[in-house]
Amino acid sequence: MATAAPETTVWTIDPAHTVIQFKVRHLMVSNVTGKFTSFDGKVETVGDDFETASITFSADIDSITTGIEQRDGHLKSADFFDAENHPKLTFVSTGVTKTGDDTYDITGDLTIRGTTKPIVLKAEYGGQMQDFYGNTKAGFELTGTIKRKEFGLAWDAVTEAGGVVVSDDVKLILEVQVARQ
C-alpha cells in the first residue's frame, strides 16, 4: 500500500512580529538603519520541512522609514528606489540548502527598480511554538549583503574631503515570524 505524500504547508508572514531592516554606511563612519513597514510574504513547505521551502516576499517602497522624513523622501525618489515607477521590491526563492542543525542558505531573485539579481541570504531557524490562540509560529533571522548600485540605486556623492557619503554595500537584517495556515 502506498504512503500518502506529505501535504504542502502554507506559512504567511506575521507582520506584527516581523522586522525587515537594512543598514548602510554613511560617510563610512557609521550605519544608517532603515526598515519597510508594509510587506507581505508566503512560504510553502512539504510538511514542516523548511529545506523544501518556496518563498515569495514583497515590500512596499513607500513604507520605507529611517526616522528622518527628508531622507525617506530622498530614498523614495528617482535617485534611489523610484517608488513612483517601481512601487515594490520582490524576492522569489530559487532554493534552500540546510547548512547546519538550524541554519540554511536561501538563494533567490531579488528585484529592485526593475532589476533582478540573484542573492543568498543566511537563515537561522529559531524554532516553532504555538501561540496563546493555538496558532503554530516559526521564527527565522535572515542576513545578507547586496550591492545597491547593481540594482540601480546609483545616487552618489563625495564630501569636500573626498569621503564617500553612502556605501555601495547594504546589509539586510530580517527578523521573520511566519504562521502556519
Number of domains in the chain: 1
- CATH code for position 43: 2.40.128.110
Q: State the CB neighbour count (10 A cutoff) for residue 109.
A: 13
**1 lies in a domain?**
no
Confidence of residue 95 (pLDDT cuts 50, 70, 90): very high
Predicted local distance difference test score (pLDDT) of residue 53: 97
* C-alpha–C-alpha distance, residues 62 and 68, integer Å: 14
Q: Which domain holds residue 127?
A: 8-180
Q: Which three cell numbers stand for residue 102?
A: 538550524
Domain membership of residue 148 (yes or no) is: yes
pLDDT tops 60 at residue 162: no
pLDDT, residue 168, reads 85
pLDDT tens-digit series, residues 119-149: 999 999 999 999 999 999 999 999 999 999 9
> Is the residue at 128 inside a domain?
yes
**Predicted confidence (pLDDT) per residue in 43-67, tens digit:** 999 999 999 999 999 999 999 999 9
Whole-prediction pTM: 0.91
When pLDDT is averaged across residues 69-75 and rounded to a whole number, the result is: 94
Please report whether residue 2 resides in a domain: no
- Is 3 domain-assigned? no
In a domain, 156, yes or no: yes
